[in-house]
Structure 1
Amino acid sequence: MTGGSAERGGNASARPGRPNHPARPVALVTGGGVRVGRAIALGLAEDGYDLVVHYHTSAAGAREVAEAADQLGTRAHPVQADLSQEHEAVRLARTTAEHFGRLDLLVNSASTFAADDLLAVTADKWDAVMAVNLRAPFLLVRETAKLLTASRGSVVNIVDLAALQPWTGHPAHSVSKAALLHLTRVAARRLAPEVRVNAIAPGAVLVPAHFSEADIERVRARVPLGRIGDPADVVGAVRFLAGAG
């Protein structure tokens, strides 16, 4: 875990002194500094959202998102938090409320992706995956429910295909995403009709950096369209579910 020096107290790009546009929606995107979460954050900035960009270790990426949002005329406030820790997840939600005073969209995109074997994974490793992939989204929904209800907002959980398929090489990840999908259903019923809660299960998007060309080709061969997905595909789905486009 990296220290979150500036981001714990604020960020120059966020410009707290600039008044928030009364009609401008606010989104909290976890894991917003890298990969799909970054693409979602940038897409929402293009749609006119002010942002809370959560990151764990990707400080540079979160700052780049904030700078891009500033160029688009919106505000982005990077916040560092280790979502494996309950108090950090709660702090993230409360920072959002304190900084912007409203929340229209919560995107739970942050996750861990540790490979392991079901018969070898330790309880500590299992719990660490569940804390980030499942418990943190629960805590953020719980802590932001009042703000989302007030704005008649939306929650979008990124669950990926592991929620629907038994990934034996990533057992904790697969189980956590299946549980997050069911949490989505439970939260949707509990928060209706004021708040909509949905999930997106992308296929192969931005394959892991350690994949070889053979690995990538094997994944591509299983996709009916014959191509690896693009983050823009996920951004479009988030926009649709959030009512932003």
Structure 2
Amino acid sequence: MPSVLITGAARRLGRALAERFARRGWDVFIHYWRSSAEAQQLMEELRRYGVRIVSLQADLRRPEQVRQAFSAACELWGPPDVLVNNAGVFPPPHTLSELSPILWEETLQVNLSACLYASQAFASLQPGQGRIINIASLGGVRTWRHRTAYNVSKAALLQLTHNLALELAPRITVNAVCPGVLLLDPQESPPVAVERIPAGRYGTADDVFEAVYFFATATPYITGQWLLVDGGFHLLR
């Protein structure tokens, strides 16, 4: 069976991706940091699909923790075929004067540095043809008012996608998925009116998964690409 390691898999989008990979018969490595209870619950739920499930805990901002956790998990049944760098933060809106050094550094550490450290660990453990898929954002290609830290972190992640694709070719492909406005919880109130989205609806976990699954299974000739999954929202000015 193919296998996938998803960072930040215990909650929200990461959880949804893990469930959908398991449903399609993939073994799943569930990474979490603080969401231990949610990770254990997810493991129990995914076992009904008859696939192998393992969890690993690490603060992705700490490269040594990442290497140790990835190595320990891989000792069970080898390295994963695919790494999905999903863990990320979406800080609250802030003016330039409100953007503190702590918020700036935390956003870059989680949204950018963590993806680098996880990719380095994955590449060192994967001896064959692997895949890395970064969950970026429409915010990486568009500029949003009062979202400086987030915009910069996701734009840098897209550039990192290109650099990793070049550095790791031809052994490992590296691509990015850029979701637009998602509605993962019916109780949420998205910041954008649905009427502004050409597709006429908000994005779902299924929409993002189909893009991720495409890169996970596509020809290895596709690398260094970004795929916008935003219902055409990027077309508006």
The TM-score range, normalised by the shorter chain, is 0.7 to 0.9
So what's the TM-score if we normalise by structure 2? 0.84
Once residues 61 and 219 of structure 1 are traced to their aligned partners in structure 2, the CA distance between those partners, rounded to angstroms, is 31
> Residue deviations 1:173-225, cap 9 Å, x none?
1111100001001111111111111000011112688854xx55x43122101
Q: Which residue of 2 aligns with 1:89?
A: 66
State the SS of the aligned residue for 1:53.
Answer: strand
1:34-113 alignment to 2 at 5 Å? 34-113=11-90
Match of 1:177 among 137, 141, 154: 154
Match of 1:143 among 100, 106, 121: 121
Match of 1:123 among 90, 94, 101: 101
**Larger CA deviation: 110-119 vs 154-163:** 110-119
Structure 1 residue 103: deviation in Å? 1.8
Cα distance, 1:175–1:26 mapped onto 2, change above 3 Å: same
Cα distance, 1:169–1:89 mapped onto 2, change above 3 Å: farther
> Residue deviations 1:26-83, cap 9 Å, x none?
2110111111111111111122221111122322332232122211111111222222
Once residues 208 and 162 of structure 1 are traced to their aligned partners in structure 2, the CA distance between those partners, rounded to angstroms, is 20
Match of 2:209 among 235, 240, 244: 235
Cα distance, 1:134–1:240 mapped onto 2, change above 3 Å: same
Cα distance, 1:169–1:92 mapped onto 2, change above 3 Å: farther
Once residues 205 and 185 of structure 2 are traced to their aligned partners in structure 1, the CA distance between those partners, rounded to angstroms, is 13
Q: Does 1:133 align with 2:107?
A: no
State the SS of the aligned residue for 1:197.
Answer: strand
Match of 1:164 among 121, 141, 146: 141
Once residues 133 and 31 of structure 1 are traced to their aligned partners in structure 2, the CA distance between those partners, rounded to angstroms, is 11
1:188, 1:195 within 8 Å by CA — same for their partners in 2? yes
Q: Identity of paired residues, percent?
A: 36
1:159, 1:199 within 8 Å by CA — same for their partners in 2? yes
Once residues 176 and 209 of structure 1 are traced to their aligned partners in structure 2, the CA distance between those partners, rounded to angstroms, is 27
1:159, 1:200 within 8 Å by CA — same for their partners in 2? yes
- RMSD, aligned CA: 2.1
Residue type matched to 2:67 in 1? V
Q: Which residue of 1 aligns with 2:235?
A: none
Residue type matched to 1:157 in 2? N
Give the paired residue count.
Answer: 218
Residue type matched to 1:134 in 2? L
Q: Which residue of 1 aligns with 2:226?
A: none
Once residues 109 and 72 of structure 2 are traced to their aligned partners in structure 1, the CA distance between those partners, rounded to angstroms, is 20
> Residue deviations 1:75-117, cap 9 Å, x none?
1112222223333323332233223322200000010111222
Q: Which residue of 2 aligns with 1:20?
A: none
Once residues 100 and 171 of structure 2 are traced to their aligned partners in structure 1, the CA distance between those partners, rounded to angstroms, is 40
Q: Which runs of 5+ in 2 are unaligned?
A: 219-237
